[in-house]
Amino acid sequence: RSISDGSPKGIRDFPPELIRHHKWPFHNFKEGSWLYGFEDVDFPVLESEALFIGKAGEENRGQLYCFEDRWNRRVALRPELAPSLAMLVIRKGYRCQN
């Protein structure tokens, strides 16, 4: 794909022959994690812009893809999972077990 076909730069398709290779290490890591009692979590692709700018500061805004949604909320494409995971732990009140 190229920009001339309307695709954003850096975006591509993964046909079956490529996705098999792409998913293999993730599948094996997931199975190994399950053996040790870990469970799956998943997070939305969009998060509040404030979640990523709060601690990192305003200079972080230039590294994010942010926009206003149709309800006038400032949102960002999630660049990483750490803040989302931290918010899940806080919301659910999870505690480390020794």
Name the 3-class secondary structure at 51.
helix
pTM value is 0.59
With a CB cutoff of 8 Å and minimum separation 6, the contacts of 68 are 74, 75
N-to-C CA span, the chain = 50
pLDDT per position in the chain (98 positions), as tens? 445 567 777 788 889 999 999 899 999 999 999 999 888 888 889 988 888 887 666 777 778 889 999 999 999 998 888 888 888 888 888 776 65
Query: By CB neighbour count within 10 A (0-12 exposed, 13-18 middle, 19+ buried), where does 26 fall?
Result: exposed
Nearest residue to 65 (alpha-carbon basis) of 77, 56, 53, 55: 77
As a whole number of angstroms, the distance between CA 14 and CA 3 comes to 17
